[in-house]
Structure 1
Amino acid sequence: MIIGSILKTKGSEVFSVGPEDTILSVARSLTERRIGAALVRDAGGALLGIISERDIVGGMASHGPGTTGLKVEEFMTRDLVTVTPQTHVTHALALITHRRVRHLPVLDGEGRLCGMVSIGDLVKARIDEAEQEAEALKAYVAAAG
């Protein structure tokens, strides 16, 4: 299975924030939307990074009290780990494990944003795929027997 298959079901909408947004506003938005990360984009839509719950907690631990008024650009991760719609789910899972991230922006061959997948999306896709394989094997065995 490839990432593009996940996006067909999930959709391509991605929540984004600006680098000048405050940590408090982003934390509230993540909580309201029940998501763990948002892409950081400039006014023109260019991808600058990602801000995750982990970034926020780490920034608060480093900066101490008063961090909620600080800007996203001070906490965000700039070194993005990305995939394409053609990336296999197993490869994406390996990236997430190796790079210790939970979200992967999906970029097309020209670097345009197509969506974003989370570790939950990838695990669900693998489970669905394994269940389909098991059903196919059961049907094969039943037909052969």
Structure 2
Amino acid sequence: MLVQHMLAEARKRLATISVDAPLAEAARLLSYEHLNLVAVCNQDGKLIGVISDSDIVHCVSACHPECRRACTLGAEAAMTREVIACTLEDSLREVWAKMKDHDLRHLPVLDEAGGPIGILFARDVLRVLLEEAQIEEQDLKDYFLGLGYH
């Protein structure tokens, strides 16, 4: 199965901000239950980074107690710049391998121009792969037992 088959679900989890948006905006978006990653885009709409809740915690914890600028910092201050992403043409097995290899829970889905169009969650990718494996197992059982063949 390809990523494109999960696009509807991935679109529901997409939140984007511009690179010059305040970090507080990313924090506000991450406070919503269904959002765990914010895509940071340049003026052309291309993905240039991502921000997770742990990125914000790391950035804010690095500030000295007397520093009150955490709410005015830009998204660029906390974003992860080396983004691992996927496209609609990637297989879910390839996506899972990327997630596993890089210890990721979320993965942005990019269009042909490099713009974000969704966010995949590891649990959803695993759910679909498990369903595929169960169907494949049942098909093999049916084949070996001769069910449905005359």
Pick the TM interval, shorter chain: 0.7 to 0.9
The whole-number CA distance in structure 2 between the counterparts of 1:59 and 1:85 is 32
TM-score by length of 1: 0.80
Percent of matched pairs sharing the same residue: 26
The aligned length equals 144
CA deviations over 1:16-38 (Å, ceiling 9, x no partner): 01223233332222112531111
Paired residue for 1:76, among 59, 67, 79?
79
Q: Which has the larger radius of gyration?
A: 2
Residue 128, structure 1, aligned to residue 127, structure 2: no
Q: Which residue of 2 aligns with 1:12?
A: 11
**Which of structure 1's runs of 4+ aligned residues deviate more than 4 A?**
none
The whole-number CA distance in structure 2 between the counterparts of 1:104 and 1:98 is 12
- Structure 1 gap ranges (5+): none
Q: Is the CA contact (8 Å cut-off) linking 1:40 and 1:50 kept in structure 2?
A: yes
Q: Say which SS state the counterpart of residue 132 (structure 1) adopts.
A: helix
Q: Say which SS state the counterpart of residue 121 (structure 1) adopts.
A: helix
Q: Is the CA contact (8 Å cut-off) linking 1:22 and 1:69 kept in structure 2?
A: yes
The whole-number CA distance in structure 1 between the counterparts of 2:73 and 2:115 is 29
CA deviations over 1:99-129 (Å, ceiling 9, x no partner): 2333222224443444331222212221221
Q: Which residue of 1 aligns with 2:147?
A: 143
How do residues 54-73 of structure 1 correspond to structure 2 at under 5 angstroms?
A: 54-65=54-65, 66=68, 67-73=70-76
Q: Is the CA contact (8 Å cut-off) linking 1:105 and 1:115 kept in structure 2?
A: yes
RMSD: 2.5
Post-superposition offset of 1:86: 1.7
Q: Is the CA contact (8 Å cut-off) linking 1:6 and 1:125 kept in structure 2?
A: no
TM-score by length of 2: 0.78
Q: Is the CA contact (8 Å cut-off) linking 2:4 and 2:88 kept in structure 1?
A: yes
Post-superposition offset of 1:39: 0.4
Higher helix share: 1
